[in-house]
Amino acid sequence: MTSGSKSLMWFRKGLRIHDNPALEYAAKNSTHVYPVFVIDPHYMKPDPTAFSPGSKLAGLNRIRFLLESLVDLDYNLKKLGSRLLVLHGEPGNVLIRCLKEWDIKRLCFEYDTELYYQALDAKVQSYALESGIEIFSPVSHTLFNPAEIIQKNGGKPPMNCLSFSKIAGDPHWLSSSLSTTLSMIPPVGDVGNFEVSEVPTVKQLGYEDIQEEEPPIFKGGESEALRRLRESIKDKEWVAKFEKPNTDPSAFLKPATTMLSPYLKFGCLSSRYFYQCIKEIEKEFKNHTSPPVSLLGQLFWRDFFYTAGFGTPNFDRMRGNKICRQIPWNNDDELLAAWRDARTGFPWIDAIMVQLRKWGWIHHLARHSVACFLTRGDLFIHWEKGRDVFERLLVDSDWAINNGNWLWLSCSSFFYQYHRIYSPVTFGKKYDPTGAYIRHFLPVLKDMPMEYIYEPWTAPLIIQTKANCIIGKDYPKPVISHETASKECKGKMAAAYELNKEKNGMVSDEDLQNLR
Ligand code: FAD
């Protein structure tokens, strides 16, 4: 250890102690460690004009989850003799000031592939390099280093999960055991004139702290993440036999998947540690399931989208994105609002959108249903609009995974069978014929008889009256006819695919206009 050497551990994601190589390095090589989190106005400034409470980019559910995660991180750091220093402002400027004023010799932070962080990190790293500050920035948010996968694949990200997993192989860290505990962290040094605060409450950040009728579904933080992980994997047979396509999107009393996504998104749970736990269980079962459908496979999907997002310019938009089909989506704010606000008149779709708003989480196939309905299935609205709604409402909202899946579901990239449409009536019925899920999230329909619960507009008036739910008054009529709309959508998709083929991807705004 260099005597008198001070390190700054910059937390952004990776809000954990376990398997945190940047923190471990700082702890091992310093006399003092400054663990810093910067409250970034870009993400956190309240936006009263948004369609739901929160900032411009994040709904209140996610902001609350982040603050809880910081409280837990501070608590866990204190147990190791340290604490979290919460600072406020534009992170680049704040960090550079910290490096200067605290005479930092080493800057440690988890590598981040997101565009926003790439730009931010370049600014901070350039100052650190000029000032002779050592930088340690390991890849630990994902199983693999996206840059290495792209290099192994001849300079391009793999375009399907199976080829991704073949190229990736076993992660290199698997042969050595991950560090899951730290015994101590060197003390925090003098913070000088810096205004260091405790983790703020939502109220202190300027949000109205709305008390929900039901307790929140998620509680942020590493402690809760590890508790939920243990709970999720205690039934080893369930883990070994997990097959994602066979999980039930309508299960809400006991959801059918792990619900660990918010913890992975913020790095309260290490995806590598999760992977290692699953691998250990798989060793005990000869006939465990395999990627892409197995639980391990789900983590491959995560890395697959991270790699695609990292290696594709303009991944988060249609224009200028080489892997995205150019499609003349409609602009219809009324239909978009009906979808967003659970007023489409299709109970399966509306119940999912209510769950999304309340819980900040919905099952993967529920995400499929509403994303398909909004885009190529029925409303023919741009996937970027749906992506924005998800980005705001999901607690697990993740730049690479959200954009990647919207590209997929809208048949803009990765998946091209646009004639395969999720029916807003029959798909949910397969899993939940009595409509328990709909009755829970749309109590206005709770007394609708089972035979009409997915299509209440077909119920005779006498039945609607008995069920205390008049369609068109208490619950909306369907905004479209699924039969007609889905047929039209398929026609438009066929024409758009043809045009993309003809123009070899060089489709202009005028070409798109002509297709409308
Ligand atoms: P599990 O089935 O228990 O899987 C374990 C973990 O694997 C998940 O927590 C997640 O980190 C990862 N994973 C699972 N499925 C996928 C997938 N298809 N792609 C990438 N990673 C996956 N997931 C997000 O984490 N953030 C998002 O913003 C997001 N947006 C989505 C948008 C759309 C339109 C769709 C169709 C899917 C989206 N997903 C997103 C992927 C997936 O739906 C969720 O990761 C999953 O439902 C989370 O629930 P779980 O933790 O119970 O998953």
Ligand 1 in reach of 264 Cβ (< 6 A): yes
User: Rounded to an integer, what distance in angstroms lies between the CA atom of residue 211 and that of residue 214?
Assistant: 9
User: Rounded to an integer, what distance in angstroms lies between the CA atom of residue 68 and that of residue 107?
Assistant: 25
Q: What is the mean pLDDT of residues 300-326?
A: 97
8-state DSSP, 290: -
Question: Which pLDDT does position 108 carry in this prediction?
Answer: 98
Q: What pLDDT digit, counting tens, does each position of 332-351 carry?
A: 999 999 999 999 999 999 99
Amino acid identity for residue 89 in this structure: G
Q: What is the CA radius of gyration of the chain?
A: 24
Q: What is the mean pLDDT of residues 350-359?
A: 97
Expressed in angstroms and rounded, the spacing between residue 389 Cα and the centre of ligand 1 is 16
Ligand 1 in reach of 375 Cβ (< 6 A): no
Closest protein CA for atom 2 of ligand 1: 257
Measured at the alpha carbon of residue 171, what is the angle toward residues 119 and 312, in degrees to the nearest 5? Answer: 35
Nearest to 427 by CA among 371, 479, 355: 371
Up-side HSE of residue 188: CA atoms within 13 Å toward CB?
19
Q: What is the mean pLDDT of residues 188-199?
A: 94
Q: Which residues pair with 39 in a beta bridge?
A: 88
Burial of 106-121, coded b for 16+ CB within 10 Å and e otherwise, reads bbbbbbbbbbebeebb
pLDDT-wise least confident of 94-108, 126-140, 170-184, 194-208: 170-184
User: Rounded to an integer, what distance in angstroms lies between the CA atom of residue 370 and that of residue 406?
Assistant: 11
Ligand 1 in reach of 258 Cβ (< 6 A): yes
Q: For 20, list phi and psi in degrees, rounded to 5.
A: -125, 85
Is pLDDT at 3 greater than 70 in this prediction? no
Q: For 250, list phi and psi in degrees, rounded to 5.
A: -95, 0
Q: What is the mean pLDDT of the chain?
A: 95
Ligand 1 in reach of 265 Cβ (< 6 A): yes
Q: What is the mean pLDDT of residues 126-130?
A: 97
Q: What is the mean pLDDT of residues 65-74?
A: 98
**pTM, full prediction:** 0.97
User: Rounded to an integer, what distance in angstroms lies between the CA atom of residue 422 and that of residue 370?
Assistant: 9
Question: Which pLDDT does position 4 carry in this prediction?
Answer: 63
Closest protein CA for atom 31 of ligand 1: 402
Q: What is the mean pLDDT of residues 139-160?
A: 97
Contacts 24+ apart (CB under 8 A), 432-441: 432/248, 432/250, 435/347, 436/250, 437/250, 437/251, 437/252, 437/351, 438/347, 438/348, 438/351, 440/252, 440/351, 441/252, 441/350, 441/351, 441/352, 441/354, 441/355, 441/358
Q: What is the mean pLDDT of residues 33-58?
A: 93
Is pLDDT at 210 greater than 80 in this prediction? no
User: Rounded to an integer, what distance in angstroms lies between the CA atom of residue 173 and that of residue 288?
Assistant: 22
Is pLDDT at 2 greater than 60 in this prediction? no
Ligand 1 in reach of 394 Cβ (< 6 A): yes
Q: What pLDDT digit, counting tens, does each position of 472-512 carry?
A: 999 999 999 999 999 999 999 999 999 999 988 789 888 88
Q: Would you place residue 179 in the very low, low, confident or very high pLDDT band (cuts 50, 70, 90)? A: confident
